[in-house]
Amino acid sequence: MAFPSVSNSISFVHPVSLSHGKNAEVWDVEGKRYIDFVGGIGVLNLGHCHQRIVKAICEQAQRMTHYAFNAAPHVPYQQFIERLAAFIPVSYPVSGMLTNSGAEAAENALKIVRGHTGKSAVIAFDGAFHGRTLATLNLNGKVAPYKQKVGALPGPVFHLPYPSADNGVTLAETLKAMDRLFSVEIDIDEVACFIIEPVQGEGGFLALDVEFAHVLRKLCDEKGIVLIIDEIQSGFGRTGARFAFSRLGIEPDLLLLGKSIAGGVPLGAVVGRKALMDTLPKGGLGGTYSGNPMACAAGLATLDEMTDANLAAWGERYSASVLTRYEQWQTQKLSPYLGRLTGVGAMRGIELLTPDGQPATAQMAQLLASAREQGLLLMPSGKSRHIIRLLAPLTIEPEVLNEGLDILGRCLADLP
């Protein structure tokens, strides 16, 4: 599939041209219907064209389509940032800024950390994904395709193994690697921040070891290191709660947000402790489109829907359906390639492995194609692109979710 006016450096998981969508279903230009388990890569927790969000966008578009907040403050930005701050479940007053994307939130967080600490060294984790911009590339715990052929990247950045029951990396292994890092590579007193996902997205829906989260929080407190938690993909109800860091029993110093923050309209945020957010001089933060009025209106409508009761109900229903079906597949020995179920809550991945335990990358390619032919769109993840990301909207109708799982089961069973 090629478009002459589009860079060939952009790749496509699915060679289809989509026309429109509604909740968890999309249609291509030829009228073929698909069940959407991709959700714009985690952007559409409330589904395609959610009525409340569409209404908010249309009403705001009739009042004001754009104003740069740093030129003259506008009401939607003020209302949204106040609501967002109240939505973050931490014990301290929250301050923040809005951005155009999650990657831009990460970039601004690095600026804030440098200004606050006077240091530049960052510790990230293997398998991490924080964006495609130049600075965030170096944070990513994977070379191909993100870091290839782009030369020297902003640093210094160091990586540690990501401890998770989902990838088999133990707490002890990560602590041993950390000890080596601070003994051989860099003095811990030169470290400005750690940046970590409570559940890795691109990495394969790997849930962070809870004990390590507490060790990391304690270390940061003792050494004056900023802890940045990236909830760009795991946030806004994806794991069944507002944010995934709550299950770890810790709080971030800075929190990165994006994707499902505004129902599909480009918006992101970096929020956190006021002392950090106020570090840079006046004019040090901002952006022409950051906190666009229509995006803020969409964000407000999104928060209206994301009550704790809704998130708990959606997450429980979604997770229970996936868990039940996965256990059935295991009992049936549905496929020799069926590996572990990764993640937590409604943020789940299904690993494909060869009989000798290697990533079944070739089988994943076949699965994506066969599922698409039968009307299901899937998204791969993991270092070897061998883990299925299940990112259907949280609002998916039970019958549509079951239909999609039926297709997935048939395709798994048919893998040669």
Residues 261-294 have pLDDT tens digits of 999 999 999 999 999 999 999 999 999 999 999 9
Q: How confident is the model at residue 145 (pLDDT cuts 50, 70, 90)?
A: low
Whether 146 has a pLDDT exceeding 70, the answer reads no
121-125, strands of its sheet edge to edge: 94-99, 268-273, 254-257, 226-230, 191-196, 121-125, 157-160
What is the residue-averaged pLDDT of the chain?
95
Q: Which domains does the chain have, with CATH numbers?
A: 52-305 (3.40.640.10), 308-413 (3.90.1150.10)
Contact between residue 201 and residue 375 where contact means Cβ atoms under 8 Å apart? no
Q: What does DSSP say about strands 268-273 and 254-257: parallel, antiparallel, or unpaired?
A: antiparallel
> Using CA atoms, how far apart are residues 398 and 145, in angstroms rounded to an integer?
36
Residue 308 CB neighbours (<10 A): 11
Q: Using one digit for the tens of pLDDT, what is the confidence trace for 293-321?
A: 999 999 999 999 999 999 999 999 999 99
Contact between residue 301 and residue 53 where contact means Cβ atoms under 8 Å apart? yes
Amino acid 149: pLDDT:
56
Amino acid 152: pLDDT:
55
Averaged pLDDT, 78-87: 98
Contact between residue 83 and residue 172 where contact means Cβ atoms under 8 Å apart? no
SS3 22: strand
Q: How confident is the model at residue 259 (pLDDT cuts 50, 70, 90)?
A: very high
Lookup: tokens for 10 = 């952009």
